[in-house]
Chains A and B, each alone.
Chain A
Amino acid sequence: MFTKSDWTDQKIEVIIANLLRAGVTLAAMVVFTGGVIFLMRHGKEPAGYHVFTGEPSNLRNWRGIVHAAFALRARGIIQLGLLMLIATPVARVAFSVFAFVLERDWLYVGVASFVLLVLFYSLLGSAM
C-alpha cells in the first residue's frame, strides 16, 4: 500500500522535475544565444584548446560572469547560461529542504540542508 507520505513525495517530485526542465530549457536557450553571437563575431578565428591557459578571471566567478553577460560579451552570455544550468540541481535540493519541512521530517530536513551547504560552499566559497 502507498502511504500518505509516499503520495506527498510523488507530488513533490513532479513539481521538482518540471522545475528542473524549465531551468535546463532556459539555460540552454541562453547558451545557444551566446553561442550564435560568439560564432558571428569569432567564427573564423582559429579554435585553440590544445594548450591549457585557464579562463580569464572575470569568467571564473558569478559577479564577473553577470557583468560580462550584461555587457553583451558572447563568452559572458554562454557562461551565464552554464551558471544557470549549475544552479538547477541546487534549486532541486533547496526545494527538497522545503518539502521535508512540510512533511515535518526533521531528520531529512537536516540531511538535505547539509547537502545544500556543501553545494553553497562549492559555488559561493570558491567562485565568489
Chain B
Amino acid sequence: MSNLEFTILVGLGSFMAGFLGALTGLGGGVVLVPLLALVFKVDIRYAVGASLVSVIATSSGAAVAYLKDGFSNIRIGMFLEVATTVGALFGAFLATKVSTSAIGAVFGIVLIYSGYLSSRTPVDPPPGEQPDPLATRLGMNGVYPSLSGPKSYFVHRVPLGFGLMFGAGGLSGLLGIGSGAVKVLAMDHAMGIPFKVSTTTSNFMIGVTAAASAGVYLSRGYVDPGLAMPVMLGVLAGSLSGARVLARTKTKQLRWVFGAVIVALGVEMIYGAFTGKL
C-alpha cells in the first residue's frame, strides 16, 4: 500500500472512530488502536502514539461544546489531575518496558470492560447525606443547573476516587487512550458526583492526562508524523461532526451496536496477544 492510499484509508477509519465515539459518548480512542493494529497491521507502539495525540485533539476541541452545559467542576478536575498525570507518566514508562503482547492483552480487557459499561444506562447517584470532610476542605462541592433550578451536590469518598484516577491515568499512559470510562466510573460511582458533571469534568481532564504521557511517547520515538497525521485529523473531524449530529439522534441502539463492536475488538486483541500477532 502506498503512503497516499494508506493516508486516505486510515483517515476514513479514524473519522468513523471519532464520529461513533462522540455519538455514543464512549470516545474514539478506544477503537483506534485495535483498528490500526488489527486491520492496518501497524505496530502497536506506533498505534498507541498516534491514538494518544488524537485524544488530546478531541478533548481540547470539544471543550467549547461542553462549556455550554456549564457543568464541569474545575476544582474536582484539577485536584484529580494530580493523580491522573502522575499515573500517566508511570503508565507511559511502563509501556516502554513491557512486551507488545502484554499491552495488547491489557487493551483487550479494557475494551471488554468499556463495552460492558456502554450497556448500562447512567443513573445519578442518590443525593448523599454527608459530604466527605476532605471534599469540603478542598472546595469540591458544587452546584449544577437542572430543569428544576440549580441543584447542589456533595462529593464523597475522595481518597477512593483519587486512587481510581491514578489507575485511569496509568491506563491512559500505557494504552494511549483517554480512559474516559474509568474516569466517569471513579467520579460518579466512587465519589457520587452527578453524571453530567462527571462527564464534562472528565473531558476536561482527558487532554491534560494525555499530554503528560505524550512527552514520554514523543521522546521514545512512538509518535510517527506520517501515521499520526491522518489519525489526528480524521478523529478530530469525526468527533466534531459526531457532536453536531448528537442532538438529533437516538443513541440507545447505537450504543449497543458500538458496545458490541468494542467487545469483539477486545476479544480479537486478546487472541492476537496470545497468538503473538501483535
CB pair B230 A55 closer than 8 Å: no
* Closest chain A CB from B226 CB (angstroms): 6
Residues in chain B near residue A27, CB distance under 8 A? 57
Chain B residues within 8 Å of A59, by CB: 221, 223, 225
In the bound complex, CA of A112 to CA of B210 (Å): 16
CB distance from B204 to the nearest CB of A (A): 8
Interface of A is mostly: helix
Given contacts A61-B219, A82-B223, A108-B75, contact A114 B2 (CB under 8 A): no
Interchain CB contact under 8 A, A115 and B78: yes
Shortest CB distance B115–A (Å): 26
A123 CB-CB contact with B under 8 Å:
yes
B6 CB within 8 Å of chain A: yes
Q: Flag A12-37 by CB within 8 Å of B: 1 or 0 each.
A: 11101110110110011001101100
User: Given that A88-B207, A96-B74, A127-B218 are contacting pairs, would A35 and B43 also be in contact in the complex, using a CB cutoff of 8 Å?
Assistant: no
Chain B residue, CB-CB nearest to A96: B78
Q: How large is the interface on A (under 10, 10 to 19, 20 to 34, 35 or more residues)?
A: 35 or more
Q: Given contacts A45-B3, A86-B214, is CB(A14)–CB(B67) below 8 Å?
A: yes
How many whole Å from A120's CB to the nearest CB in chain B?
9
Contacts of B89 in A (CB 8 A): 118, 121-122
* B275 CB, min distance to chain A CBs, angstroms: 16
Against B, the Cβ 8 Å flags (1 = close, 0 = not) of A40-53 are 00111111011110
How many B residues touch A, CB cutoff 8 Å?
Answer: 65
Q: A123 touching B225 by the CB < 8 A rule? A: no
A67, CB-defined interface residue at 8 Å: no
B14-22, B80-88, B121-129, B179-187: which lies at the A interface? B80-88
Contacts from B to A (Cβ < 8 Å)? 1-7, 40-43, 45-46, 53, 56-57, 59-61, 63-64, 66-67, 70, 72, 74-75, 78-79, 81-82, 85-86, 89, 92, 138-139, 142-143, 150, 207-208, 210-216, 218-230, 232-233, 236
Across the A-B interface, the 3 shortest Cβ-Cβ residue pairs: A54-B221, A122-B215, A78-B225
Please list 16 pairs of residues, one from A and one from B, whose beta carbons are closer than 8 Å in the complex, sorted by A's number: A17-B64, A39-B3, A39-B4, A42-B226, A43-B2, A43-B3, A51-B43, A60-B219, A78-B226, A89-B60, A93-B81, A114-B82, A115-B208, A118-B85, A122-B92, A122-B213
Interface of A with B (CB < 8 Å)?
A: 1-2, 6, 9-10, 12-14, 16-18, 20-21, 23-24, 27-28, 31-32, 34-35, 38-39, 42-47, 49-52, 54-57, 59-61, 74-76, 78-79, 82-83, 85-90, 92-93, 96, 105, 107-108, 111-112, 114-115, 118-119, 121-127
